[in-house]
């Protein structure tokens, strides 16, 4: 009889399950303690979540207070004051001159499912029922719920699980001509374009030229522009709260999650422009979406506390400062390390794009996984990406912690190359 543990961890191969060195026991600041007793420097912010570091006292206190005062109250066919306050703060944070309303959800993937419904119904309300198609970018990640999995370009079992992609197409990032060609081909049938301002898989930023093309084509073809800022929001890309804040014109819908509660709760938010919100108000139209745990008092309290901490610490400025130094140091590392083909990223969102030993082809994913393991054994948690190693440090990293991370990366590379990339 096969022996196994009760926990079935997500996206973890069976031969990696049940290991003490892959099981976390606690986390504080930018460090994670494992079940085997080791303490590692975290360079993933817990999957892009804990921008403020683990265990932020203000967020923890707000959650505790809300649990005692309100426990569970619904935002389904009802409202609660914590959700109202959090929604108002998010509208202000994103820009009340453009955005008007907030829908709460429970994950980035679920929020993107909700947004697919939203944009299709919006097109119906404006008399364009044929606009049901969705465009997204290649190599982007939008989640793995059924709607979000259709948007996600990475091959993660969509065909196996019967994910319906008949109304979804993908175009290359930073290629305005290909985007325009797709819009021409499906003219009158595209409801929305979903984009990550910085592709989460590989930390590839959308170019200024491509953003300009998107905005021009939005005016010409009338699609809804959705900025999926699940990974890039709350200061992650440096300088601004949201990456799309740097665009000449804002998106119509902004999706945020992960750092929304500093990773403490299963929560996400869809921030909707005034124009789209008003299209539902005039006919008193009901949006057919609800989730039991969306917008509870605890979620609302955590969001409000996270927003307050973002402002108190000015984390977008901190992220920009960390990013300037980290980007410079990683470029220097790439110059001395042949396995690093290039470095991309901004703020606290970076990727080391890796090459195989021949120096000409991208490093194969099994070897990327081995490099991640070598860096972990050297003392830091990093994340594998497509032919790359991703670094997503907390926005509150100190200079000493940057130095520590760089030293660990060098040790990890040295160890990995000394074994020829094999275990």
Q: Please, how many CA atoms are within 13 Å of residue 253, restricted to the half-sphere of its CB?
A: 29
The residue among 419 and 144 whose pLDDT is bigger is 144
User: pLDDT tens, 249-293?
Assistant: 999 999 999 999 999 999 999 999 999 999 999 999 999 999 999
pLDDT at residue 422 is higher than 70: no
pLDDT at residue 423 is higher than 90: no
pLDDT of residue 186: 97
What are the start and end residues of each CATH 3.90.1150.10 domain in the chain?
14-42+314-418
- The span from the first CA to the last CA of the chain, in angstroms, equals 29
> What does the pLDDT average to over 396-410?
98
User: pLDDT tens, 145-192?
Assistant: 999 999 999 889 999 999 999 999 999 999 999 999 999 999 999 999
8 Å CB contact between 283 and 125: yes
pLDDT of residue 419: 83
> What does the pLDDT average to over 87-97?
98
User: pLDDT tens, 341-356?
Assistant: 999 999 999 999 999 9
pLDDT of residue 356: 92
CA 287 vs CA 116, 230, 280: distances in Å: 11, 22, 8
Number of C-beta neighbours around residue 34 at 10 A: 18
Taking the whole predicted model, whether its pTM rises above 0.85 is answered as yes
CB contact burial 303-315 (16+ within 10 A = b; e otherwise): bbbbbebbeebeb
pLDDT at residue 421 is higher than 90: no
pLDDT of residue 68: 97
Q: Look at residues 138, 299, 136, 139 and name the one whose alpha carbon lies nearest to residue 147.
A: 136
Rounded CA separation 194/197 (Å): 10
Q: Which residue's structure tokens are 């453009």?
A: 98
Rounded CA separation 226/223 (Å): 9
8 Å CB contact between 217 and 183: yes
DSSP label of 98: T
pLDDT of residue 1: 60
User: pLDDT tens, 101-150?
Assistant: 999 999 999 999 999 999 999 999 999 999 999 999 999 999 999 999 99
pLDDT at residue 384 is higher than 80: yes
What are the start and end residues of each CATH 3.40.640.10 domain in the chain?
57-313
User: pLDDT tens, 368-382?
Assistant: 999 999 999 999 999
221: left (phi over 0), alpha (psi -120 to 50) or beta: alpha
The backbone torsions φ and ψ at residue 343, rounded to the nearest 5 degrees and listed phi first, read -125, 130
Q: Look at residues 276, 300, 268 and name the one whose alpha carbon lies nearest to residue 113.
A: 268
Query: pLDDT over 70 for what percent of the chain?
Result: 99
> What does the pLDDT average to over 47-76?
97
pLDDT of residue 171: 98
The domain 14-42+314-418: what is its CATH number?
A: 3.90.1150.10
Rounded CA separation 350/382 (Å): 11
Q: What angle do CA 27, 240, 330 make, to 5 degrees?
A: 60
Return the CATH number of 57-313, one of 3.30.70.260, 3.60.20.10, 3.40.50.920, 3.40.640.10: 3.40.640.10
Alpha helices, DSSP H, located in 290-356: 297-313, 315-336
The backbone torsions φ and ψ at residue 341, rounded to the nearest 5 degrees and listed phi first, read -80, -35
Contacts of 262 (CB under 8 A, 6+ apart): 49, 50, 51, 52, 56, 59, 302, 306, 309
pLDDT of residue 21: 93
The mean pLDDT of the chain is 96
pLDDT at residue 420 is higher than 90: no
User: pLDDT tens, 297-355?
Assistant: 999 999 999 999 999 999 999 999 999 999 999 999 999 999 999 999 999 999 999 99
């Amino acid at each position: 009889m096969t022996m196994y543990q009760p926990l079935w961890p997500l996206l973890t191969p069976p031969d990696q399950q049940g290991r003490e060195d892959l099981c976390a026991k606690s986390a504080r600041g930018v460090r994670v303690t494992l079940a085997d007793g080791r303490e590692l420097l975290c360079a993933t912010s817990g999957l892009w979540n804990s921008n403020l570091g683990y265990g932020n006292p203000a967020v923890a206190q707000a959650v505790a207070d809300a649990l005692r005062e309100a426990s569970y109250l619904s935002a389904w066919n009802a409202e609660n004051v914590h959700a109202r306050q959090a929604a108002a703060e998010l509208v202000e944070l994103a820009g009340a001159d453009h955005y008007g309303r907030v829908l709460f959800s429970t994950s980035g993937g679920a929020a993107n499912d909700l947004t697919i419904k939203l944009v299709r119904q919006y097109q119906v309300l404006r008399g364009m029922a044929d606009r049901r198609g969705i465009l997204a970018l290649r190599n982007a990640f939008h989640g793995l719920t059924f709607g979000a999995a259709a948007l996600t370009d990475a091959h993660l079992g969509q065909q196996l699980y019967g994910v319906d992609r008949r109304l979804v197409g993908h175009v290359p990032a930073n290629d305005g001509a290909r985007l325009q060609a797709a819009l021409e081909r499906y003219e009158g049938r595209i409801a929305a374009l979903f984009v990550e301002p910085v592709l989460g898989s590989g930390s590839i930023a959308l170019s200024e030229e491509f953003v300009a093309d998107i905005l021009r084509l939005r005016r010409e073809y009338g699609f809804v522009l959705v900025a999926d800022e699940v990974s890039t929001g709350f200061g992650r890309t440096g300088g601004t709260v949201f990456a799309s804040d740097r665009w000449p014109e804002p998106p119509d819908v902004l999706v945020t999650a992960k750092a929304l509660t500093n990773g403490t709760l299963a929560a996400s938010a869809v921030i909707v422009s005034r124009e789209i919100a008003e299209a539902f108000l005039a006919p008193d139209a009901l949006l057919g979406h609800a989730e039991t745990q969306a917008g509870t008092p605890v979620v609302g309290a955590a969001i409000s506390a996270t927003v307050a901490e973002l402002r108190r610490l000015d984390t977008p400025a901190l992220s920009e400062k960390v990013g300037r130094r980290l980007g410079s140091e990683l470029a220097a590392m790439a110059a001395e390390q042949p396995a690093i083909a290039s470095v991309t990223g901004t703020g606290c969102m970076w990727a080391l794009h890796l090459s195989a030993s021949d120096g000409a082809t991208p490093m194969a994913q099994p070897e990327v996984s081995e490099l991640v393991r070598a860096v972990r054994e050297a003392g830091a948690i990093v994340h594998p990406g497509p032919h790359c190693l991703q670094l997503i440090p907390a926005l509150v990293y100190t200079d000493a912690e940057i130095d520590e991370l760089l030293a660990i990366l060098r040790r990890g590379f040295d160890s990995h190359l000394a074994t020829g990339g094999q275990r």
